[in-house]
Amino acid sequence: MRAIVIKRHGGPEVLAIEERPDPEPAVGYVLIEVKAFGLNHAEIYMRSGAWGEMPEISGIECVGLVRADPTGQFRPGQTVVALVGGMGRSLNGSYAELTLVPATNVVAIETRLSWEELAAIPESYATAWSALIGILQIERGQMLVVRGATSALGQAAVNIAVDEGIRVIGTTRRPLRAGLIEAIGAQAVMIEEPDLPKTLRQQHEEGVDAVLDIVGNSTALGSLTMLRRGGELCLVGFLGGGETLNLQPVFQIPSGRRLSVFASALVLGGSEFPLAEVPFQSFVDKATTGTYRAKPAHVFGFDEISKAHRLMESGDAKGKIVVTVNP
């Protein structure tokens, strides 16, 4: 099979297409013929070496067809989505024509979407839904701030929240992108700047019900001050970098507020966060009808992986980047 491999740690130029042996079917795993995969910021860290040694084939999600499943849970030719479960971290990932994924991290889907449209959904929507509904348990009529709302994960969160009847304030670093967030249903848009938490509290004196922070440790303390008493912050990303968060809870977490974390790549598909809880078919159906504006922002060919990584690293994608395999 053809695979995109990390020859050495570094920039997008270190990604190379080479031949590798086809993975062998194994009990407990599903062999998938990859049709397309979405890119994720985690793969920048994997490629650069920031997270230490990783498998040579990156990629934490994909969509495709079942080639083989020794346990018989999935039938050959069945359309599936697959995500995390060690993909790209402890196992070779989805940047290949074939990938072997734990069965716990594979979900069968029925869809009329194209492969590239389907590939824009799995990881972003599973993470957003799990954080919003599974952890924050935010409810209709409540107010949510999504920090980093123009990212693929941010747009998924806005789509899901708006559909659930939640009032959403989206944030962005760039004023020209405000229209993008409003177009998917955000009630208001605020610009990321140092005084954002203070400005928000001036507009919403009692604070908001929840904050979904995709920017990460650099904004976490400010996000906590946005909350009302009983409100909760959930950290789900690190768009702002992976700097250490030095936290003194008694002095830096306002009394009566909660801080949680959802590390999707480490727990989705496990016993505490089984994929059976995540309504993947509903995501796909709502993307098909246009309830969710979930189309990929950019689509690249397999041979354009370095170009795709450069765009992801630039921060200019304005949504999900998808790569097709043998279209």
Ranges of the chain whose pLDDT falls below 50? none
CATH of domain 124-265: 3.90.180.10
Judge whether 2-120+295-324 and 124-265 match in fold.
yes
Contact 258, 233 (CB under 8 A): yes
Distance CA 38, CA 245 (A): 28
Give pLDDT, residue 252: 86
Alpha carbons 211 and 132: distance in angstroms, whole number: 9
The CATH number given to 2-120+295-324 is 3.90.180.10
Tokens of 164: 């659930």
Which residue ranges make up each domain of the chain?
Answer: 2-120+295-324, 124-265
- 100, 30 in Cβ contact below 8 A? yes
